[in-house]
Amino acid sequence: MIAKFWGVRGSIPCPGPTTYKYGGNTACIELRFPGTDRIVIIDAGSGIRELGNHLVANELPKGPLVADIFLTHTHWDHILGFPFFAPIYIPGTRLNIYGPVTFENDSLRNIVGGQLSYQYFPIRQSELAADISYHSLKEEKVELEDGIVITTKYLNHPIACLGYRIESNGKTFCTAYDTEPFQNLFCTDPADPTYDEGMATEGELVAREQNERLEAFIAGADLLVYDAQYTREEYEASRRGWGHTAIEDVVSLAHKLGIRSTALFHHEPVRTDDQLDELAATHCNPGQSNHSEIFFAREGMQIEL
């Protein structure tokens, strides 16, 4: 399996001279499976625009484009590149778009394709040339052809958000972003008037169980792409509950589980290249050969699992 990062940022595209090295596009990862023609894409952030252009230039000459797009969730930074994904305008293109929806009465077609409406964009969804099918996902297993198995797990984010575990040919690729550690949702302070001992204990158990389930979900990954938007200091100061993880927590999780290779992902948009380099010097160990490499994902980076 080969993974390529086309967008690594969180929240909003942030191109410019201070983000040149790591890249300013939002989430998009391409997966290829040598020996097959299959193209799997995780997320349609602004990075998918460049990927689309690349596919049109390099794959389209061989025949119509066929791809499976798995959206982690429908926050804007993960879908805003879709209207600029050139293959949707090319007859013969076939796309399957998978992702979670938070409310049953909302469809992926409306949320994702709805960006192509006159209020936002000069072209309407009904004018697209590609054949696009939408599939809403919960926690489940999807088997693609060519022996590719995809398992999903709900993460801890303000809306329904899925982690993906993709297995092929004995290799495992996992994503867990946008997410933060599951926490007790009930008051744990006995001095607080809303405190209820039963609820506090139950909340503790649920949080622990969910964290353990996520650990089991990512365990054994050859490459893990994990949310690392904040530093611990930023997280503790004001960002708890926003659905993102502190770099320090990802690093200890990766060590605890012995993950072979961990890409820190969904970088804070205000983070400059210099700041990411500094954080990397403190927290990362790229090129580590003892099966516990940790690095900041960079746009254009390609990794063979």
- Which residues of this protein are in contact with Zn ion, per CB under 5 A? 10, 75, 77, 178
Three-state DSSP at 304 gives strand
Least spacing, CB of residue 123 vs Zn ion, in Å: 25
Q: Whose structure tokens read 């209820």? A: 196
Strand, helix or coil for residue 127: helix
* CA-closest candidate to residue 72, choices 133, 9, 152, 1: 152
Closest approach, Cβ 181 to Zn ion, in A, equals 16
Q: How far is the CB of 161 from Zn ion (least distance, A)?
A: 6
| Closest residue by Cα to residue 225 from 27, 19, 14, 12 | 27
> What phi and psi values does residue 173 have, to the nearest 5 degrees?
-115, 130
Position with the least CB separation from Zn ion = 75
Q: At how many degrees (to 10) do helices 273-283 and 247-257 cross?
A: 40
The residue (of 26 and 168) whose beta carbon lies closer to Zn ion is: 26
Whether residue 48 contacts residue 28, with contact meaning beta carbons closer than 8 Å, is answered with yes
Would you say 178 or 268 has its CB closer to Zn ion?
178
In the complex with Zn ion, which residue's Cβ is closer, 76 or 195? Answer: 76
Residue 153 near residue 179, CB atoms below 8 Å:
no
For the bound state, the minimum distance from the C-beta of residue 75 to Zn ion, rounded and expressed in Å, comes to 3
Q: Closer to Zn ion by CB, 10 or 13: give it.
A: 10
Task: Return phi, psi of residue 187, to 5°.
Answer: -60, 130
What single letter denotes the amino acid at residue 34?
P
Smallest distance from Zn ion to CB 140, Å: 21
Minimum distance between the CB of residue 1 and Zn ion, rounded to whole angstroms? 23
Q: Looking at beta carbons only, is 10 or 203 nearer to Zn ion?
A: 10
Q: For residue 275, how far is the Cα from the chain centroid?
A: 22
- Please, which residue, 50 or 77, has the CB nearer to Zn ion? 77
